[in-house]
Amino acid sequence: MKSLCLAVVALLCLVSVSHAAKFDTSFRYSTVETRHFSIHYHQGLEGVAGRAAGMAEDIYDKLTREFQWRPAEKTQVVLIDDSDFTNGLAITIPYNTIYLQVVPPGVSSTLGEYDDWLRTLFTHEFAHIVSADPARGYSKVTRTIFGKPLPWMDPISVVLFLVTAPPNTFLPRWWHEGMATWAETKYTGQGRGKSSYYDMIFRSAVAEDNLPTVDQINGDVPDWPSGHLPYIYGYRLQRYIADTYGNDVAGRLALGHAGRFPYTISSPAKENFQGKSYREVYRDMIASLRDEQSARIALLSRQPFTPLTTVYDQGENLASPRFSPDGIRIAFTRRDPRDHTTVVVTDASGRKVTEFRRQLSDGSLSWSPDGRSIYFTQAEVTRGFDLYQDLYVHDLERDCTRRLTKGERLGEVQAAPDGKSFVAVASSRGSQNLVLLGADLPGGNPVPVPLTSYSEERVSGPRFSPDGRAICYVLTDNAGSSTLRIYDLVQKTDRPLFTVGNTLAYPAWAADASVIYYVSDETGVFNVFAYDLRDGKSYQVSHLLTGALQPEPAPDGSRLLLASYTSRGFKIAQMRIDRSEWREQRGPSLPQTRALPAATLQAATAPAAPAASAPAAPAVSAVSPAPTAAVSSALPVQVSQNSQSSQVLSSASYTPLPTLLPRFWLPRLYADGPEGTVVGAFTAGADVLGYHSYAVSAAYSNERKRGYYTLLYNNDSFYPTLTLQAHAEPFLYADLYQNGNDYWELNRGVSVQASIPINRLESHYRLLAGYEIVDQKALSTLSPDGTLYGVPVFQGRRDNVFAGIDFDDVLKYPYSVSSEEGRRISLLYRYYARDLGSDINLSEYSATYEEYLRLPLASPRHQVLYLRLSGALADGDLQYGQEAFQMGGPPSDLNKFPLRGYPVRSMAGKYIATGTLEYRAPIMYPLRGFGTVPAFAEKLHGALFVDAGQVWDDRRSFHGDETRIGAGFELRADVTLGYWVKVTPALGYAHGFNKGGEDQIYFTLYLGL
């Protein structure tokens, strides 16, 4: 058991080093080198890698000039296609690394407006590198000595980490994301700062007086736009700073903070802002934003706004409204920080009829033609690693959900009017395309058939025409243009209707197929437009103050459903359709296309020449998920010529060695006895793909004249994960036998473990097994008979084999004060035998069961009952003090069997059983901090608890009346410290009702309830 503690310490360090998520083992990586970047990509991403290499050096030159910093090392860039959701990650410790998911951003995301999605993502993430990596003054000296370190898990190491890590690492999230979003906006044609989505958020916040304070963007506010706050208002703050204090201020700030100790953020601000702090400048920015948007609101208000009627507003982000085929019901996706994502079905007036759960998804859905089922896509873990969307169907009458495809990477699925097929968007290798799926195949598993073959472009919003003969959709290229297109299923033609240089999204046919409604921001606001297929003209249908998305015409043509925006999210609203109020669009935004002949009005089937930028014929190769068959790992890349400064220096198969070598070290200082001092150092490393990772510590005790070491190595290059550990370290048993005496031992061991994670999006299994060699030897001075103050202690070998299983399907929401649903189960078995080299024969069994039950009470929400049962037994040779199971004291990471109301580890034995029942409830949600101080109070909550437990052994059998019971309460707070670290400190009172019980007032710290 002692070596397990050592393993936990080392593993925590190792997990920090192995910052790459474990990737699909079927991926085979290659590397292309440019002057300042190593770009790693797997099979199928040769084109994306070529584009990245073509733009990388151009982005490097611009951003290093902007931030006045050139990294001393190459930046590692990993391109990966293991998710249907766009994301990026930049890391500067222990070396500069960027991870990019190569799927075009969805049109409904804040990244949905772009001119070149890869350039936007690359620019944003590299801006993180050059703004967080700088070193100046003292940090330049520490970097020269120590590198860019990670901490070992001891207090001294953590302090040293704070002193030696890049100081900008510890800046607020709004600083990091604001800088990167501002850079992305300045150095790309679009960027989020120029988007109508951000402008909609700012305009609505001003109109509804719902602007966040600076402390709220410091912390983690669960309300809309929640996690986007640091990006949105961090960007707006940085834009104001650049406009007010000079275009070079970003670099001056980055370098200014790089020479200051962590969390001393005021001085660089005052030096650059004429004596003002960030808090004061943020206040000035908000005033400027009010003036800017108030003028914009006044301008928009010159014309009367289109009346909207709220249909449903119970939730925060309501999206993708769809009328049932008969127009009697409405279905939509509901997301809310207080609950699970659901599909809600209401009647036409908005009264809820039913709802069912859905997982992470693009939010789209579609009714079956008979109105009995709803089709939708949602993500699930595929092949253990990849997060891909598939098609599901929910039977409303039976209230059951069935999965129809697996690993097909589908989004925005729509059922044909006859119910015999589906159209969808399929993602693969940075590209999206239109696919058709049959619904009546044997076995009921539709197989996608590709209709288009676009490369590295976005396809969105496919909708069948009312007669099912044509599909309208939007193609977004990488030059800032969007095209409304029609694919004719009969003639197999794909033609454009018109192209615009602004956002064009969410097309939907009118019931009579005379017009296609869509959303556009050509007025600077997301409004509804209609393209008339008769006259080839576009009309503005709505004039809104805030904006709306996802129009859905009623089957009778009388009204439109919309996802209407407010400063608190999206609600479902409707507007009346009245063609007499439509305004014809003129000027540059007028669609440049001829009118369709009358014969094509119903299905828009007239053939036309394809746009120059897109293929007209169906794709010749199937759209498929990540292939399992390996291809050449050194395929050549085609380098984009959009940057004259880019140049590929070499291209080869991936090798882990260049990024695996140690990049840092830190000293260690700890004890191996009452007066013993151990001095040492540690380092850690991982290759950029996380295939190999390790942590190494070496130390020497001058008093005992001996060395100590710990080595932990993980191999994730294949399935399962293999872990090798070796150690020789001092270990302290504080107050062994509860007689006031500490016992120190030398614990040496080697272990090999294989673990198999079986992951689902909302549940996780882990199977593990291994072999461990352990040798225990006293460091404390013992009596001649080998006892400690007359009490025997164990010395010798405890070699064992072990196996275990863990399960977790626990769920928690942003407003939760605890996990609210699900259970955790952990089982572990260890077998010690002399045949294995052990000095004892022993079997150890341990089990833990935790259950979370959300109470169905209206107020306050998020009340939870928590049940925990745990137990262990050792069957075999008599246990010594080090091996006995110990019970007592408040919960902590080191106390496996807590029992509040009794002294810590005050009871010990070979057998143990404990139970806890807690009632947990919120008290208040402060959601406040103190300006830019690195502390944010999120929630205040409490718990009433009852603990019970008993230990026994061969000499003392189990008796019910020997069960110890304690009860009390805890006051807890969820806080964010240092801008990034979430902790839950708790102050508790407990009373023990049985022998040995006492009144306790204690403090403990939870790292996740």
Rounded to whole angstroms, the Cα distance separating 146 from 169 reads 16
Q: For residues 80 and 97, what is the distance between their CA atoms, to the nearest angstrom? A: 13
- Over its C-alpha atoms, the chain yields an Rg (Å, rounded) of 31
Residues forming beta bridges with residue 379, ordered by sequence position: 389
- Yes or no: say if 592 and 579 are a contact pair by the CB < 8 Å rule: no
Cβ-based neighbours of 635, under 8 Å, separated by 6 or more = 30, 43, 46
b/e code 982-995 from CB counts within 10 Å (16+ = b)? eebebebebebeee
- Asked if 900 contacts 968 with a C-beta cutoff of 8 angstroms, the reply is yes
User: Which pLDDT belongs to residue 362?
Assistant: 95
- Cα angle 674, 680, 684 (rounded to 5 degrees) comes to 130
- Measuring CA to CA, which residue among 972, 911, 912 is closest to residue 948? 912
Fold assignment, 29-300: Neutral Protease; domain 2 (1.10.390)
The pLDDT value given to residue 737 = 64
Q: And the tokens for 67?
A: 């931030």
DSSP designation for 208:
T
Tell me the CATH number for domain 457-541+586-618: 2.120.10.30
Any alpha helices (H) in 789-899, and if so which ranges? none
Structure tokens given for 784: 């001649």
pLDDT value at residue 17: 41
Count of positions (residues) in the chain: 1009
Q: Which of 423, 442, 444, 445 is nearest to 434 (CA)?
A: 423
Amino acid symbol at 195: S
> Three-state SS for 233?
helix
Q: Beta strands 37-42 and 75-80: pairing type?
A: parallel
Distance CA 882, CA 746 (A): 12
- Report whether 819 contacts 810 (CB < 8 A): yes
CA-CA distances (angstroms) from residue 51 to 27, 101, 191, 612, 968?
20, 14, 18, 20, 62
Q: How many whole angstroms separate alpha carbon 901 and alpha carbon 307?
A: 63
Please, is 299 exposed, middle or buried when counting C-beta atoms within 10 Å of its C-beta (0-12, 13-18, 19+)? exposed
In contact, 98 and 76? CB cutoff 8 Å: yes
pLDDT of residue 153: 75
Query: What pLDDT sits at residue 446?
Result: 77
How far apart, in whole angstroms, are the C-alpha atoms of residue 216 and residue 225?
12
Whole-model pTM? 0.91
d(CA 121, CA 298): 34
- pLDDT tens per residue across span 807-848: 999 999 999 999 999 999 999 999 999 999 999 999 999 999
Strands annotated E in 324-469:
329-335, 342-347, 352-357, 365-367, 373-382, 386-395, 400-403, 410-415, 421-428, 431-438, 448-450, 458-464
Q: Which residues of the chain have pLDDT under 70?
A: 1-21, 440-444, 586-646, 735-740, 878-883
Residue type, 92: T
Domain boundaries of the chain, sorted by first residue: 1-20+669-797, 29-300, 457-541+586-618, 812-1009
The helices-and-strands tally (H runs, E runs) of the chain is: 13, 53
Q: Which CATH architecture has domain 812-1009?
A: Beta Barrel (2.40)
As given in the structure block, the two tokens for residue 296 are 């914009």
